[in-house]
Structure 1
Amino acid sequence: MPGKKMAKACMKCKQRKKKCSGALPCEYCVKINQPQDCEYQSRVKSKKAKVTERYISTLKSRIRELETERAKSSVDDRISSQEKVGASDVNPLIEPEYGFELHYKDEASSAKSKDGRSAIHYLGMSACAQFLIKLKESLSSPSGYPLAEHSSTATATALTPGDIPIDRHYIKSIRKEILPDVPDAEGLIDIASRIIGADYMFIESNYVENIVLTMIYKTPVPHDSKGLIKYTNELLRLLSHLALGSLFDKANPKSKSLGLKYHETTISLYGHIVNILDQAASGSLVQSLLYMAYFALSQDKTTFAFITVGSAIRTMFTLGFHKNAQSRSENRIFWLCFIYDRLLSVRFGFPLMIDENDINVPLFNEGDDSLTTISLDVYHFVSQVRLAKITTQIITKIYTQNPFSFLHNCHAVLKELKYWFDSLPNELKFDYDDIETGMIRATFNLHINYNYSIMISTRPVLLFVFRTILKASDKEAKLFEKRQFELILVLLESCIQAAEIQSRILTKLYYDGKMANCSFLDCHYIFSATIILILAGFCQMLSKKHVLYLGDVESLFEAIEHNLKILQGLSEYNAAARNFNHQLTEFIDLMSSEEVVGILKKDKSQKQNTSLLFQRKLTSPQPASLDKAPRSNEPIFDFEELGFVDLSHILNNMGDEVRSGSALDIFLNDAFQENSCEDLEREI
């Protein structure tokens, strides 16, 4: 991958005391097939100035004097003011009572939103516990000086020594009968880490050694309540890792049933933990719930996934990770919850559970001014979080009713996405025209999610054009105003190109054997891209006044056919793929039906070869540039009459089932990695 070299050696090369190439990943980490573990650490100059204790003491004394004077002056002013108006209008729970700031205040509470309105920052002061704290402050500190800061999180009820909240024998039976051997467990954790990666999973660098081996396998199940709760939590997290690893384990023919077994055990184990949730709430429990939701998505269990992610987020709120993450792990767990929240909200139309105005923690690795970690894992995760933040704008600007033009809102979000793409580290970029085979899956995931974000930001424009064309009469001179059409062209080009690039990347992953057969996300990305490609071709066939698609229509329909074949092949392993394939098949049948053809074209006998309608190919697969001059609203080609595109041949060519011995069978069996791409393409 391109990118400037680091000034120091990576951690692995330091440990082996060998020269490092300085790249990310370095040559040695690539050689041992561990590019994701290549990590650099560098010290950053501290921003804190060194001062003497005497100087600090002098400042504190002066501050106390000024606060006393200000408090006295403020009280006098307040009394004078109250004499005039009769009473104070200050809310003592959330506003300063004596003119100086409360002990808890976040800068975001007084920040302004982008539309000029004050950003509402909810501090949680409505809690009765907080009200009681304020009462105590009033009694203990009548002068107005705040007491020591108290946590708003309710403390767990202490357990009596003889109280055992979890059945220890049940935990022992899981450890004895369910857990695999140590090598198998390590292998499944590694598979889950490589397939899901930093995008939707966080595995500490010392997790296997300190937690899995030392705590779970080598240490007996604890007898005391506190130790048993912690052991159960970590056992649940391990089982959630094993379930995901089994889900994506292509080498084991029994992996699917094994994954379901682990997943069912996690649900059962969580049922035991629910009874003592006040004591069991922890970062490990939050992670387990997120991974259980990821597994449920792959089984096309959307409702279960949403409820489970909601439980994880509420547990995280209870722990206070959104206000004050005490460690890097807590910080990472919070932002994982944020990513999952945006993942489900934008894909299924669910409401957001995390309001960005209520976030009081920095993005991972940005709050540390002493030690900066540089690795592909950090790059991927930070980039995914920033992309998830743009998802908030997609939902609020495009998929929420507002008084602004939706076309301009789409354009504004598209510019944000373009800025995100331009800001990516060089190590995470690649040429869409020449996709390399050796990149790790997490890098592909990043670009897949990026192109998906472009599609969902611009596809309302495609639907708008489609509906406008359907309603227009043959005698109308033009469908859109000039300025409107110029903006529509930019948005449509970005939408269709993103769908084509998405199809190209997923096809590459499929042929290289890197597509997760049982993944919900991969199938969903194929599904969303195919819808856009079908609708784009359909709109162009209906339009007689404008060229809406500038690419080669043959390649467009080839991409549609290829996407459908991949979905059909994955349907054998994936419930979500079967669902998506069924929906697309019904859609194509509807668009190719005689009823629709009769409505959209009076003379059904006039059908032209679509390859003759468009001669201009896409010159660049990158998303449309927003800086280039807008195009004219005049059609590039003058068509007297366009034929109707018949999509039924795609389904006829595919057949109801994948033929035995076809290339798709080879891709989906265990030996597909032994075949070269060239051999497979010849068989197709």
Structure 2
Amino acid sequence: MAKACVKCKQRKKKCSGGVPCDYCLKIDEPQGCEYKTRVKSKVAKVTERYILSLKNRIQQLEAQLAKTASEVPENTEQPLTTSDINPLMESENGLEYGFQAPPSKLSTRDRYLGLSSCAQFLKKVKQSLPNSIDANVVASKDCTLAALKVHTEPQIDPFRIEKILNEIIPDFKEARKLIQNASEMIGADYMFIEKDYADITVKKMLDRDQIPKKPEDLLQFTIELLRLMTCLALGSLFDRSNESSRYMGVTFHRASLSLYGSLAYAFDQASSAALVQSLLNMAYFALSQNKTTFAFATVGTAIRTMFTLGYHKKTQSMIENRTFWLCFIYDRLLAVRFGFPLMIGERDINAPIFNEADESQTTVSLDVYHFVAQVKLAMITTQIISKIYMQNPFSFLHNCHAVLKQLKHWFDSLPNELKFDYDDIKTGMIRSTFNLHINYNYSIIITTRPVLLYVVNMIFSNTGDEEKTLEQGQCDLISGLLESCIQAAEIQSRILAKLYYDGKMAVCSFLDCHYIFGATIILILAGYCQMHMEQSVLYSGDIELLFDAINHNLKILQRLSEYNVVARNFNEQLTEFIETMSSKEVVGPLEKEDGQRQNSPLSFSQNFKRQNSTLNDLEEDEKRIFDLDDLAFVDLSHLLNYIDDQFPSTSMVDQFLERDFLSNNCREP
């Protein structure tokens, strides 16, 4: 790593060498602290003559191989590689079948073509023609999508652009503040803004005397204006200094839709990294307005636009690379939270992860650390979806163990700069750091919560005989899985409550409300099941503290409901869920004939009635929930070691879970 960060070098300051360094902390720009080190190029430049010599050598070897094959008895079959069978595929050593034209750089006007396209097939045919044909002639006549498309002037209405600039866009100072709000509250995980975006790009746009006249320049200006409008809409979500900011956010969002409609007439020419980023920003805003269908459709458009640009195969800049992995994160975000199908298959990805994309230099910064860690966690999300919530040939215990092992490795591999003390949470850190730990606990919850559903079903199918249902080994295993699930939900609640009390929560965001919603469901089920099971399977802590955490979550959602439609929706669902779990129809069959036990269904509902009567004392209740000095991070080591030692894949417990649990509670029929 370089001895001094970029900012200290520019300002000629002594750098402490940390990430972030002391100077960047002093000027309150920790995210801008980065170290860049040049790397010697690993690309070897070769001449066309050298390539032809290699090709001749390959032909000689193929001739020798064919001669050897002719001497082998007819009943002896030689294995064929994929490249031998299908000339469309690249061989294992990376050389294509026949002549390979020099690669051309992708631009916003070029389009990616997969091997199954007819134009790509024709290109392969041309490349296989005899060597006497001029390679330049072949390359110039490639029937690619870029060559086939009709180039027409973009039909952008300049009067609409002028109207947006004059009537909707705020002044530079206000625009800069909104952009900074969006960057700080959302984090680098779900939004990409260049460091000097406001001071250079936005200022240049707003300082123009008039919009561009040339159609090509007007198109690029409109694309950048669309991106600015989406950033302003997101920034307005978190602007607490202006009471009308929520309405301005809707105004900015509607203007974004209007600009996007204008670009639809020239979508082929407009497709670019900036357009993809704008679509993702629009999707984030739609989620905050509880517009799930629109968000999913918009992310789908962004991903498919990215596919046409070929970013999943090769990126030419860090911006393109970052744009692709943002699409990947959004794809996993929607898939795991709404059960939507994945749109990006990991087998189709050739693009390196962020910092590996630039071979000329290595960049070290908090932004790089955050984004790479978030991408790797999103990859584990793929495993959660495929192993836990889809049919596969392995047992649940095997899949759960594999996913939890990956999560543990991810957590252990975090740089020290991305870790914090769970017993002393400081909200002054960058929001992206909190996002990582929140997502980590959420991943544990969705991996292990099917076991909680199994226990709920067990209670309702065995009234009063729960302790006879489980053998000791089965009970210990389920207890270990549930302990991790409930502890993750508690930690999730604690972090989010701390952010809320300190004014650091993205109060208009969908994600924070959804995290509270998911954690509260787990805690409600844990409290309910614990009060109806004589055997202590679920929760070993203080039941009163558990209900305190539940009620804190409910009160926070209720407070957020005043200006967050998503929080209002989640609060209504949780309230209805508690009423259902407390109803006579649900708790009646669980009452014993010889009278109610100490932890009766009645006491379950009373816990909420008692706590909800003190809604105005939310700040006072805060002190109790944060008196927990023994709530550390979820350490999966003990559980993983226990499964390895006690429960091999052929054990009775494994078969028990697979037969009675998976078939009924986890996967789709």
Shorter-chain TM-score bucket reads 0.7 to 0.9
- CA 96–493 in structure 1, closer or farther in 2 if over 3 Å, else same: closer
The match for 1:21 is 16
* Within-5 A mapping of 1:35-434: 35-44=30-39, 60=51, 62-73=53-64, 90-94=85-89, 101-102=96-97, 124-139=114-129, 153-155=145-147, 157=149, 159=151, 163-218=153-208, 220-434=210-424
Distance 2:91 2:26 in 1: 60
Q: How much is the aligned-residue C-alpha RMSD, in angstroms?
A: 3.5
SS of aligned partner of 2:364: strand
1:583 is aligned to 2:578: no
- 1:490-512 CA distance string (max 9 Å, x none): 21111011000000100110110
2:271/2:305 contact within 8 Å kept = yes
Q: As a proportion of its length, which structure holds more helix?
A: 2
Distance 1:507 1:169 in 2: 47
Identity %: 59
Code of the aligned partner of 2:16: S
1:545 is aligned to 2:503: no
Query: How many residue pairs align between the two structures?
Result: 606
Q: 1:44: Cα distance to partner? A: 4.1
Distance 2:403 2:144 in 1: 36
1:216/1:231 contact within 8 Å kept = no
Code of the aligned partner of 2:327: C
1:71/1:100 contact within 8 Å kept = no
Q: 1:410: Cα distance to partner? A: 1.6
SS of aligned partner of 1:515: coil
Distance 1:420 1:61 in 2: 46
1:9/1:21 contact within 8 Å kept = yes
Q: 1:63: Cα distance to partner? A: 1.8
- Segments of structure 2 that go 5 or more residues without pairing to the other structure are 101-111, 627-669
2:311/2:324 contact within 8 Å kept = yes
Q: 1:487: Cα distance to partner? A: 2.7
2:427/2:502 contact within 8 Å kept = yes
Distance 1:243 1:96 in 2: 48
Q: 1:383: Cα distance to partner? A: 0.5
- 1:286-320 CA distance string (max 9 Å, x none): 00000000000000110000000000000000011
- 1:131-156 CA distance string (max 9 Å, x none): 2223333456599x997696965457
1:514 pairs with one of 497, 504, 514: 504
- CA 7–316 in structure 1, closer or farther in 2 if over 3 Å, else same: closer
1:534 pairs with one of 510, 524, 527: 524
Code of the aligned partner of 1:67: I
- 1:349-408 CA distance string (max 9 Å, x none): 000000000001110002434311111111110000000000000000001012322133
Distance 1:427 1:167 in 2: 48
SS of aligned partner of 1:373: strand
Q: 1:461: Cα distance to partner? A: 1.1
The match for 2:26 is 31
2:605 pairs with one of 643, 647, 652: 647
- CA 421–271 in structure 1, closer or farther in 2 if over 3 Å, else same: same
- CA 168–409 in structure 1, closer or farther in 2 if over 3 Å, else same: same
- 1:202-227 CA distance string (max 9 Å, x none): 11123223321124532631111111
Code of the aligned partner of 1:536: A
Distance 1:77 1:276 in 2: 57
- CA 327–164 in structure 1, closer or farther in 2 if over 3 Å, else same: closer
Q: 1:43: Cα distance to partner? A: 3.3
Distance 1:58 1:129 in 2: 29
Distance 1:140 1:168 in 2: 52
Code of the aligned partner of 2:9: K
Code of the aligned partner of 2:608: I
Q: 1:645: Cα distance to partner? A: 4.4
Distance 1:374 1:139 in 2: 47
- Segments of structure 1 that go 5 or more residues without pairing to the other structure are 1-5, 106-121, 611-641, 668-676
Q: 1:93: Cα distance to partner? A: 3.2
Distance 1:180 1:450 in 2: 38
The match for 1:574 is 564
- CA 100–439 in structure 1, closer or farther in 2 if over 3 Å, else same: closer
TM-score by length of 1: 0.81
Distance 1:359 1:679 in 2: 48
1:520/1:576 contact within 8 Å kept = yes
